[in-house]
Chain A
């Protein structure tokens, strides 16, 4: 499997984190550098890790909804901006997994703010359509 770089961006297009991930079928998985993550979001990730690791699954949905309340987008290799779903980050190990939402014609792109010149259609978009 090919490891790819993905930037996670906030809705204002500021870069929250950079991850190295592979397409693992139903999700992308890999490791993430959390140094740019705002404290409030990091706290949510820590809460999720505590709940999952502690098997407090009755409380996980709530934690995941709180994380999902912050719109986060993935920019694979600097191209297509893809909304992220089911984002799970485990700060103690630096592990990350997420899925990408279907890409439509209305999906915003970030060529202008990241690395312009990449192909318009990214593998991420292909993955989302599968």
Chain B
């Protein structure tokens, strides 16, 4: 499988706020999907925002009719960058056209780093909040 072209050349984190994962931080929701494993730097999508609600709002603005995703956004998992790094992962800025505050959680070991044991450590540094419906 060919890796999809991308630019994650800058590891510099900019902006303010915590890191948020739509749908909460259960291990299954942090697991790398097959297509994400094909990225040059495999990782899962997160948003950086001041609050979980702000992250959910940014997602809804980018994808206004993605109803299933909107439902998932009722729950948001939140962690600091430092805590994510403390769990053995890293966070890199990967702004997209529709989500300028898009970041990616990656692991130094690539796909292999997204093992169940490592994901459990990652999940433990997040805390979920609910009620982020529009």
Contacts and interface: CB of A to CB of B under 8 A. Distances in A.
B127 interface: no
A59 B36 CA distance: 8
A48 B45 CA distance: 15
Contact of B23 (A26, A55, A86): A55
Given A55-B22, A58-B96, A60-B96, A88 B66 contact: yes
Contacts, number: 71
A56 B35 CA distance: 8
Interface in A50-64: 51-62, 64
Interface stretch (A1-9, A90-98, A103-111, A115-123): A90-98
In terms of DSSP, what is the predominant structure of the interface of chain A? Answer: mixed
B interface, size bucket: 20 to 34
Given A26-B61, A64-B97, A64-B98, A58 B36 contact: yes
Interface of B: 4, 6, 21-23, 33, 35-36, 39, 43-45, 61, 63-69, 72, 94, 96-99, 102, 104
B63 A61 contact: no
Interface of A: 24, 26-27, 29, 49, 51-62, 64, 86, 88, 90, 93, 95-97
B33 A56 contact: yes
A95 B65 contact: yes
A58 B94 contact: yes
Contact of A61 (B23, B64, B68, B98): B98
B66 A90 contact: yes
